[in-house]
């Protein structure tokens, strides 16, 4: 079973011969006591191209010390990482499944191999104020054997590592000042692995283009990179079946597709069009899982709200069996796709776009004019679709038309989010109203999809000789709900369409 620990630490280096300073007279009664000396032996794993190190991720198998085992460290903020720990196990080379699943979006089918071995003699000092350990100060003498890079071989150095345990962040600053006075400075390397790789002539880092800060290209690229990072962050959570992870990952794919449309005159459509089609495929695969989650939850709530006399037959048992079968089938399929070449190729293409964006000539222009035009194009689209919906007769035609308005509202919302850094409050105002319209019509679309599921459940119940009364009753409730939304739509649309909502754009 994996254990996740939040780690807050700072690393320091100094010229040869500089010792650890005296920490006497620390504020708030903190005393630094000499602790034990331990020997640590860690093998670090990565892809041959150092895909993990480029993202600030470290993966190691370490023996010695109180926390011997496999450790996966993931960036979680300034001086902060989440460390996922798994017991050593029998194999020294086979990565535990609990860790492999968390890095698959970065390794993309490539097996991690040993890249560095670190042997460390650690002298531990403990900071306390009469109670629990507040921080640990470790003086590490490190020997590194590097197996990759232009200069593989051995190197050694000394460093101090200060890790917060039960203390407050202010303690790190106090210890920082003492170390600085003693000749120690913050290490430029994010980790011991980073230090060892640098000594071997390797400085792996994620390649990201840097357009002019106030340009349309910068606005587009910042938003695209944010959504790609979100997609990658939720990948392992989807694999681990964490709540709401499928929904969040799917939203990231949709925001990316929307960004490519919004910035169609800033990012070359010949490139983004292909990526958009692949993102649409990924969203559809994730949607199989998400739609099943939403439908099952909605139906359970509807059944729970019925009076007992209206629930005839094995309704809950049929719903449970239907949901289990649907979830299993959808999850097996999406996990297979997330381990497939098509998905990994999409991630590679997104990385390539961020490193070398296919900018058009408009990308170098000041941001405001191009992004305003992009937002207004999305706004005009929703107006056209709303006019169709208002004219459509009740029934399937209106259901389809309102769904198209909902998708256009979502596009306006995402366009507003993407352009807000350049447009400020006007974009925020339009985004908020688009979100409200999307929410209303989302209720309508949920009702449409729920009715389809209810019809299938009723047919199955009837075929098994069960009463279909409850399913029919719920079907009628969904029709009534959809009609109420349709009645609300004209007024909410009129509010959204007010010219003053676009003032300042």
* 39 beta partners: 121
Q: How many CB atoms lie within 10 A of CB 5?
A: 12
For 484, how many CA atoms within 13 A lie in the half-sphere containing its CB?
9
pLDDT at 77: 86
pLDDT in tens, the chain (505 residues): 789 999 999 999 998 889 899 888 888 889 999 989 999 999 999 999 999 999 999 999 999 988 899 999 999 888 899 999 999 987 888 999 999 999 999 999 999 999 999 999 999 999 998 888 999 999 999 999 999 988 889 999 999 999 999 999 999 999 999 999 999 999 988 899 999 999 899 999 999 999 998 899 999 999 999 999 999 999 999 999 999 999 999 999 999 999 998 899 999 999 999 999 999 999 999 999 999 999 999 999 999 999 999 999 999 999 999 999 999 999 999 999 999 999 999 999 999 999 999 999 999 998 888 888 888 888 899 999 999 999 999 999 999 999 999 999 999 999 889 889 888 998 999 999 999 999 999 999 999 999 999 999 999 999 999 999 999 999 999 999 999 999 999 999 999 999 888 888 8
Question: Which of 431-435's residues contact partners 24+ apart within 8 Å by CB, and which partners?
Answer: 433/495, 433/496, 433/501, 434/382, 434/409, 434/410, 434/496, 435/409
Q: What is the DSSP string of 169-190?
A: HHHHHHHHHHHHHTT-EE-SSS
pLDDT at 369: 85
CATH class of 212-306+314-366: mainly alpha
Q: Phi/psi zone of residue 287: left (φ > 0), alpha (ψ -120 to 50 degrees), beta?
A: alpha
Run of H or E residues at 386: helix 368-391
Q: Are 236 and 382 in contact (CB under 8 A)?
A: no
Provide φ and ψ at 304, rounded to 5°.
-60, -30
Spatial separation of the C-alpha atoms in residues 250 and 260, rounded to whole Å: 16
pLDDT at 495: 93
pLDDT at 27: 85
For 325, how many CA atoms within 13 A lie in the half-sphere containing its CB?
7
* 135 beta partners: 127, 164
Name the one residue in this structure whose structure tokens are 């993202």.
55
Spatial separation of the C-alpha atoms in residues 317 and 500, rounded to whole Å: 53
* 161 beta partners: 11, 138
SS3 15: coil
Spatial separation of the C-alpha atoms in residues 129 and 167, rounded to whole Å: 10
Between the alpha carbon of residue 209 and those of residues 13, 163, 169, 232, 357, the distances in Å are 31, 34, 33, 19, 7
Spatial separation of the C-alpha atoms in residues 74 and 59, rounded to whole Å: 9
Q: Whose CA is closest to 266, among 347, 368, 348?
A: 368
Spatial separation of the C-alpha atoms in residues 382 and 405, rounded to whole Å: 6
Question: Which of 179-186's residues contact partners 24+ apart within 8 Å by CB, and which partners?
Answer: 179/12, 179/21, 181/21, 182/14, 182/18, 182/19, 182/20, 182/21, 183/14, 183/15, 183/18, 183/21, 184/12, 184/13, 184/14, 184/18, 184/21, 184/160, 185/12, 185/13, 185/14, 186/10, 186/11, 186/12
The domain defined by 3-199 carries CATH number 2.40.320.10: yes
Q: How many CB atoms lie within 10 A of CB 463?
A: 9
Q: Whose CA is closest to 43, among 114, 97, 112?
A: 114
Polymer length in residues for the chain: 505
Q: Phi/psi zone of residue 193: left (φ > 0), alpha (ψ -120 to 50 degrees), beta?
A: alpha
Q: Are 409 and 438 in contact (CB under 8 A)?
A: yes
* 235 burial via Cβ count (<10 Å: 0-12, 13-18, 19+): buried
> What is the gyration radius of the CA atoms in the chain, in angstroms?
28
Spatial separation of the C-alpha atoms in residues 413 and 417, rounded to whole Å: 6
Spatial separation of the C-alpha atoms in residues 419 and 379, rounded to whole Å: 13
- Report which DSSP code applies to 360: -
Name the one residue in this structure whose structure tokens are 């890079």.
149
């Amino acid at each position: 079973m994996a254990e996740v620990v939040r780690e807050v630490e700072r690393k320091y280096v100094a010229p040869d011969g500089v010792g650890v300073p005296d920490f006497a007279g620390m504020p708030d009664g903190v005393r630094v006591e000499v602790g034990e000396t331990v020997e640590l032996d860690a093998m670090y794993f990565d892809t041959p191209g150092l895909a993990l190190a480029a993202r600030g991720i470290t993966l190691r198998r370490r023996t010695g010390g109180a926390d011997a085992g496999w450790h996966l460290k993931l960036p979680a903020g300034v001086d902060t990482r989440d460390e996922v720990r798994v017991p050593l196990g029998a194999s020294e080379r086979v990565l535990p499944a609990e860790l492999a699943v968390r890095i698959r979006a970065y390794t993309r089918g490539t097996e991690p191999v040993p890249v560095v071995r670190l042997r460390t003699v650690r002298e531990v000092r403990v900071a306390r104020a009469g109670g629990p350990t507040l921080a640990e100060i470790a003086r590490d003498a490190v020997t590194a054997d590097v197996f990759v890079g232009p200069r593989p071989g051995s190197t050694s150095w000394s460093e101090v590592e200060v890790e917060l345990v039960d203390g407050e962040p202010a303690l790190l600053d106090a210890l920082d000042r003492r170390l600085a006075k003693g000749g120690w400075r913050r290490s430029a390397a994010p980790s011991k692995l980073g230090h060892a790789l640098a000594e071997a002539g390797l400085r792996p880092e994620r390649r990201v283009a840097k357009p002019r800060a106030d340009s349309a290209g910068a606005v587009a690229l910042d938003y695209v990179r944010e959504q790609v990072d979100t997609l990658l962050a939720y990948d392992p959570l989807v694999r681990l079946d964490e709540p709401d992870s499928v929904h969040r990952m799917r939203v990231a794919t949709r925001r990316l597709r929307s960004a490519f449309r919004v910035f169609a005159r800033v990012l070359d459509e010949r490139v983004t069009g292909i990526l958009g089609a692949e993102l649409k495929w990924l969203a559809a695969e994730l949607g199989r899982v998400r739609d099943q989650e939403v439908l099952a939850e909605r139906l359970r709530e509807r059944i729970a709200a019925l009076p007992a006399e209206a629930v005839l037959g094995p309704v809950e048992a049929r719903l449970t069996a239907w949901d289990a079968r649907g979830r299993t089938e959808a999850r097996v399929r999406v996990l297979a796709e997330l381990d497939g070449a098509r998905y990994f190729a999409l991630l590679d293409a997104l990385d390539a776009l961020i490193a070398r964006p296919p900018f058009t000539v408009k990308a170098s222009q000041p941001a405001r004019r191009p992004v305003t035009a992009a937002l207004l194009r999305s706004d005009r689209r929703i107006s056209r679709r709303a006019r169709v919906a208002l004219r459509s007769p009740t029934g399937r035609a209106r259901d389809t038309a309102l769904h198209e308005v909902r998708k256009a509202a979502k596009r306006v919302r995402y366009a507003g989010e993407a352009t807000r850094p350049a447009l400020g409050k006007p974009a925020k105002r339009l985004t908020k109203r688009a979100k409200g319209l999307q929410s209303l019509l989302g209720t309508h679309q949920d009702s449409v999809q729920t009715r389809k599921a209810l019809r299938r459940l009723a047919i199955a119940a009837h075929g098994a000789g069960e009463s279909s009364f409850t399913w029919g009753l719920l079907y009628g409730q969904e029709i009534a709900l959809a009609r109420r939304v349709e009645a609300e739509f004209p007024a909410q649309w009129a509010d959204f369409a007010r010219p003053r909502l676009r003032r300042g754009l």
